[in-house]
Amino acid sequence: MEERKGFMTPDQIKILAKLIGLKGIYGLLAPSVLRLIDDLLLEKVKAKIPNAVDVLPVVYQIVDEIFNSFDVDEILAAIEASKQLPEETPIPA
């Protein structure tokens, strides 16, 4: 099992960084920055919840379900396809 220091696993952090799609140095730093934010956010939440040990497993399951509910490659392909549309093409709602 992947070590989870924040709300997300290391693989989920990579997925999120990939979806954000930063390029260059920002793209290289994105996973580390996201992990730091995730870790700090979890520590703040733990400090506010008196029974964090009981609540966090449920939160982890919710985060896992969110990440399991979408296909990253499909989303990235749709983003790329939208970039290929001519400027005058109306995008259906």
Ranges of each domain in the chain: 10-83
Q: Which residues contact 27 (CB under 8 A, 6 or more apart)?
A: 17, 21
> pTM score, two decimals?
0.77
| Cβ atoms of residues 6 and 35 within 8 Å | yes
**Alpha carbon distance 63, 51 (integer Å):** 19
Q: Would you state the pLDDT for residue 3?
A: 80
d(CA 55, CA 73): 32
CA–CA distance, 23 with 5 (Å, rounded to integer): 26
pLDDT in tens, 34-59: 999 999 999 999 999 899 889 999 99
